[in-house]
Amino acid sequence: MNGYTIQLLVPFASFLSFMMVFLSIPTILRVAHSKNLFDEPNKRSVHRMRIPTLGGLAIFIGFLFTYSLFVDWFRFIEIPFLIPAILIIFGIGIKDDILVTAPMVKLAGQLIAVIIVVGLGGLTITDFHGFFGLQPDPFWGTILTLVGMVFLINGFNLIDGIDGLAAITGIIVMLSFSSWYFINEDYHIPTLAAALIGGLFAFAYYNIFSKSQKIFMGDTGSLVLGFLVAVVAVHFSEFNKPDNRHELIYDMNSAPAVAMAILIVPIVDTLRVFMLRVSQGNSPFMADKNHIHHRMLALGLSHLQISLIVGAVNIAFVILGFSLRNWGMLRLSILVLSLGFFVAYIPSWILFYKRRHFIRRLRRIKRAR
């Protein structure tokens, strides 16, 4: 099968996944309603209705079927042990959506899945792309990959707090990574991304726009999404390492920093809430309402408005990362993280000044009386 044919069929993978998810969600909703499988509102919830949480099941089915079919059809070289690892992620996610799973059990499942693709599959960071002139040995490269992947998995799990945010972020991230592979005429990752993106678009329709058939992706969806993004991010870094650049049509010398720009939303939001929790003397894993989207909700923005604003910022960082892809690993990393934290704190600053202004008005009113 020639490259031109594959280019035409990659969008078909996305369409097939879209149709599978779009048609399966109504059935999943009927099962959820008959078995009383809902997300019950609590003090941390931003919704006030009981909503089914099995959207991730549809996303997983659509991705697994489409990816398995197209990998065999195109005879791609698969990412070793990807399917067994994602089945573990799916298992811990679906159990948590139905029965609730202890945080340490979820973390253990994530580690097992990551160890499978890293330890057995060889998906490991082997080059720092000139970062301080350092090069990782096999042991530290493996440790760094394990920690980074688990961090990203949980990062996507944490941003899944309002309608559309995780889905829109996932679509932007996977499109960004896959476009680089596509222009370099490597079609494996674009096909993997297409199988996921199609499902995310179908899910987003029910999650954002549907009134009578609303559904959440739950831990199943956010963990599967985070795991696949983490796999692609590590693969992206290795795909662009110096030893491989002579094989690429277009190259870069700061691939990990570009990946950081693409993943700026989960990276900065997760680091930010972890630092806030530790500074307050709490566990970094203790749930709260300090995420960026919570701050934006407090400003009176709707779920869709927040998701679109965050998505637009994400796209701006993607453009920045690719535009400065040869700027140098250290300089680009510092720039991306500095700008990321600056932008992330804008809602908090606006909220602070609005509250201070409100307090001043109250004081003036009391004095006038």
Q: Which residue has the higher pLDDT, 328 or 364?
A: 328
pLDDT digits (tens, 9 = 90+) for 41-89: 666 666 667 788 899 999 999 999 999 988 877 666 678 899 999 999 9
What per-residue confidence (pLDDT) applies to 13?
Answer: 92
| Cα-Cα-Cα-Cα dihedral sign, residues 187, 190, 194, 196 | positive
Question: What mean pLDDT, rounded, does the chain reach?
Answer: 90
Band (pLDDT 50/70/90 cuts) for residue 245 is: confident
Using the predicted structure, report yes or no on whether residue 1 has a pLDDT greater than 60: no
Q: Which residue has the higher pLDDT, 287 or 241?
A: 241
What per-residue confidence (pLDDT) applies to 297?
Answer: 93
Highest mean pLDDT among 181-190, 211-220, 255-264: 255-264
The domains of the chain are located at 3-263
pLDDT digits (tens, 9 = 90+) for 140-152: 899 999 999 999 9
Using the predicted structure, report yes or no on whether residue 2 has a pLDDT greater than 70: no
What per-residue confidence (pLDDT) applies to 47?
Answer: 65
pLDDT digits (tens, 9 = 90+) for 159-175: 998 999 999 999 999 99
Q: Which residue has the higher pLDDT, 10 or 176?
A: 176
Q: What percent of the chain has pLDDT over 90?
A: 64
